[in-house]
Amino acid sequence: MSEIFRDEETGHDAKLAALYRTVAREEPPPALDDAIRAAARRAVASRPQRVSTPFIRSWRIPLSIAAVMVLTVSLVTVMREESPEMVLSPGGLPGEADQTRAGPAADTGESATAVPKTLLPHVERSDSVGLRPPAQTGSSGIGLRDNRVAPGPAAESRKDMATAGHRQTDVQSMSAPARRAQPEAFPGADGARDNKVEAPSASPAGSSMAEATQSRAELAPEKWLERIEELRRQGRFEEARTSLAEFRKRFPNHELPASFKEWAGP
Amino acid sequence: MATAQNSSDEELMERYRDGDAGAFDLLYGRHKGGLFRYMLRQCGSRSIAEELFQEVWMNLTRARRTYTVQAKFTTYLYRLAHNRLIDHYRAQAGGVPVSFDEDDGPALDSIAGGRREDPALRADHRQQAGRLLQLIDALPEAQREAFLLQQESDMSVEEIAKTTGVSRETAKSRLRYAFAKLREGMQEFQ
């Protein structure tokens, strides 16, 4: 040890260092070498797989939208099955419309007013499924449409209309602009077709004339002519002439009674 | 390939960061022995040393994406090893050895004298080497670490200080005490 070179600052001993290197020969086992090298290669090779992460991320939004749509459709379906009075189908599925009225709560406006607001926009966009907004039905719901029907002959005509389909009441429960947008969906019911044309007269400026027109819209031709005759007997000739003009537009081929030809002209 | 073999450790690590697995093989071949012996002497158990050794290299592969050349690669590698070793100590019942908190080691005359009297170590060069290993094992952990970092990776005092997270003076002191104790233990072979 006499030839040892010593670093005064660190005390480094060259001979001790050399002696250490002769004995310090331990190495990791070859199996460990292989495992570490393989892991290092996998780490590098895994880089392209990371590209798939943005690919998955790019599908997150479409998948989310699809999931929301499925959930929404499911909810609407469940609502139609469990609370049919909330959902109306003015255009199609006639059996469904009957089911709607058959429910115990069909004639109560409460269920209509209980519709969650969050569902309104979706249902309003739908062409086949309509939701009756509370503002249009009022607090009385379907009861309001019954009030619109004039008493007397019109009440009798309602029985006829019942055989032609119940959708008319749904149409009546809607606002006038909404009714104008309705297609002719009531085949076999003349009164119902009349309703479609008469709808503009049910404007907010409604007077006794408008109510009479509303009632006539639901009349059969014979009943309508009887009402016109009644108007003449009451001295309401102007109204009788107006109503007859409408009648002729509606039933141009219907032959008028002889008593009408005297004052109605050809 | 000759170019790669002549590349510095830092260049190889940058190439590995950029996806060259072959660069890692070269780096690993250069430093696996020294790092393994560092772990082996510091934790005293071969099985634990192998486990810690593997974890250090795995940490290196995981950290490659953020690697930038800020110091010698050996400083970076042994810093990872030092931190893993400290974690290992903390997980043990005894915690981090006290010697890591000491700026100076114990008195130079505190080296156990009983080992000198082992007659088996007085024979030849191999006996001297065996004795040296015993003395190294008997060093406090911090001093032993400073010694091993210098011997296994040719670090300077500054690099040892940076790797172990201490001041230059502390690193120098640990190194000086380590050599002093080893010299004293080897006096019987003079």
CATH number for the domain spanning B183: value is 1.10.10.10
Per-residue confidence (pLDDT) for residue A178, from 0 to 100: 40
Q: Residues B148, B176: one domain?
A: yes
Question: Would the pLDDT of A176 be above 60?
Answer: no
Q: Residues B110, B177: one domain?
A: yes
Closest residue, chain A, to B37 (C-alpha):
A26
Per-residue confidence (pLDDT) for residue A123, from 0 to 100: 41
Per-residue confidence (pLDDT) for residue A209, from 0 to 100: 56
Q: Residues B61, B130: one domain?
A: no
Q: How many Å lie between the alpha carbon of B182 and the closest alpha carbon of chain A?
A: 8
Q: pTM higher than 0.90, yes or no?
A: no
Strand partners, A13: A6
Q: How many Å lie between the alpha carbon of B91 and the closest alpha carbon of chain A?
A: 23
When mean pLDDT is compared over A45-59, A110-124, B30-44, the highest value belongs to: B30-44
Q: Which of B26, B31, B32 to mutate to test the interface with A (most CBs of A within 10 A)?
A: B32
Q: Are B175 and A10 an interchain contact pair (Cβ–Cβ within 8 Å)?
A: yes
Q: Residues B82, B105: one domain?
A: no
Q: How many Å lie between the alpha carbon of A118 and the closest alpha carbon of chain B?
A: 48
Per-residue confidence (pLDDT) for residue A19, from 0 to 100: 87
Higher pLDDT, A151 or B72: B72
Per-residue confidence (pLDDT) for residue A154, from 0 to 100: 43
Q: Residues B109, B174: one domain?
A: yes
Q: Residues B107, B84: one domain?
A: no
Q: B33-36, long-range: CB within 8 Å, 24+ apart, which pairs?
A: B33/A25, B33/A26, B33/A27, B33/A28, B33/B152, B34/B152, B34/B153, B35/B77, B35/B78, B35/B81, B35/B152, B36/A26, B36/A27, B36/A28
User: Of the residues B64, B91, B118, which one is the last residue of a structural domain?
Assistant: B91
Higher pLDDT, A41 or A152: A41
- Partners of B40 on chain A (C-beta within 8 Å) are 26
Query: Of all residues in chain B, what percent carry a pLDDT higher than 90?
Result: 52
Per-residue confidence (pLDDT) for residue B29, from 0 to 100: 93
What radius of gyration do chain B's Cα atoms show? Answer: 18
Q: What is the mean pLDDT of residues A29-41?
A: 92
Closest residue, chain A, to B134 (C-alpha):
A20
User: Of the residues B42, B67, B91, which one is the last residue of a structural domain?
Assistant: B91
Per-residue confidence (pLDDT) for residue A219, from 0 to 100: 74
Higher pLDDT, A182 or B86: B86
Strand partners, A130: A88
Lowest average pLDDT, out of A68-72, A252-256, B54-58, B146-150, goes to A252-256
> How far, in Å, CA of A166 to CA of A151, rounded?
19
Q: Are A47 and B19 an interchain contact pair (Cβ–Cβ within 8 Å)?
A: yes
When mean pLDDT is compared over A23-32, A118-127, A137-146, the highest value belongs to: A23-32
- Partners of A21 on chain B (C-beta within 8 Å) are 151
Question: Would the pLDDT of A174 be above 50?
Answer: no
Q: Residues B63, B107: one domain?
A: no
Per-residue confidence (pLDDT) for residue B90, from 0 to 100: 86
Question: Would the pLDDT of A96 be above 70?
Answer: no
- Which residues between 10 and 69 in chain B have a beta carbon less than 8 angstroms from any beta carbon of chain A? 16, 19-21, 24-25, 28, 32-33, 36-37, 40, 50, 53-54, 57-58, 61-62, 64
Model confidence band, residue A38 (pLDDT cutoffs 50, 70, 90): very high
Q: Residues B106, B80: one domain?
A: no
Per-residue confidence (pLDDT) for residue B123, from 0 to 100: 58
Q: Are A1 and B182 an interchain contact pair (Cβ–Cβ within 8 Å)?
A: no
Q: Residues B109, B184: one domain?
A: yes
In total, the C-beta contacts within 8 angstroms joining chain A to chain B are 106
Closest residue, chain B, to A47 (C-alpha):
B19
The rounded mean pLDDT for chain B is: 83
Query: Of all residues in chain A, what percent carry a pLDDT higher than 70?
Result: 41
Question: In this structure, what are the phi and psi dihedrals at residue A69, rounded to the nearest 5 degrees?
Answer: -65, -45
- Partners of A36 on chain B (C-beta within 8 Å) are 28, 54, 57-58
Closest residue, chain A, to B187 (C-alpha):
A1
Q: Residues B85, B104: one domain?
A: no
Q: How large is the ipTM?
A: 0.80
Handedness of CA A35, A40, A43, A48 (dihedral sign): negative
Query: Of all residues in chain A, what percent carry a pLDDT higher than 90?
Result: 10
A20 touches chain B (CB under 8 A): yes
Q: Residues B104, B184: one domain?
A: yes
Closest residue, chain B, to A8 (C-alpha):
B176
Q: Are A10 and B40 an interchain contact pair (Cβ–Cβ within 8 Å)?
A: no
Which of A20, A21, A33 has its CB closest to that of B32? A33
- Domain of residue B41 covers 2-91
- Which residues between 40 and 69 in chain A have a beta carbon less than 8 angstroms from any beta carbon of chain B? 40-41, 43-45, 47
Lowest average pLDDT, out of A128-137, B5-14, B173-182, goes to A128-137
CATH number for position B7: 1.10.1740.10
Higher pLDDT, A173 or A245: A245
Find out whether B88 and B44 touch, Cβ atoms under 8 Å: no
> How far, in Å, CA of B6 to CA of B26, rounded?
10
* pLDDT, tens digit (0-9, with 9 covering 90-100), for B112-165: 444 444 555 455 677 888 888 989 999 999 999 999 999 999 899 999 999 999
Per-residue confidence (pLDDT) for residue A177, from 0 to 100: 42
Per-residue confidence (pLDDT) for residue A10, from 0 to 100: 67
Handedness of CA A103, A109, A113, A114 (dihedral sign): negative
User: Of the residues B91, B117, B150, which one is the last residue of a structural domain?
Assistant: B91
Higher pLDDT, A108 or B73: B73
Q: Which of A5, A12, A50 to mutate to test the interface with B (most CBs of B within 10 A)?
A: A12
Model confidence band, residue A34 (pLDDT cutoffs 50, 70, 90): very high
Lowest average pLDDT, out of A6-10, A13-17, A47-51, A184-188, goes to A184-188
Looking at the structure of chain B, the number of domains it has is 2
- Partners of A40 on chain B (C-beta within 8 Å) are 16, 21, 24-25, 28, 57, 61
Q: Are A13 and B183 an interchain contact pair (Cβ–Cβ within 8 Å)?
A: yes
Q: Residues B133, B178: one domain?
A: yes
The rounded mean pLDDT for chain A is: 62
- Partners of B133 on chain A (C-beta within 8 Å) are 23-24
Model confidence band, residue A9 (pLDDT cutoffs 50, 70, 90): low
Per-residue confidence (pLDDT) for residue A211, from 0 to 100: 56
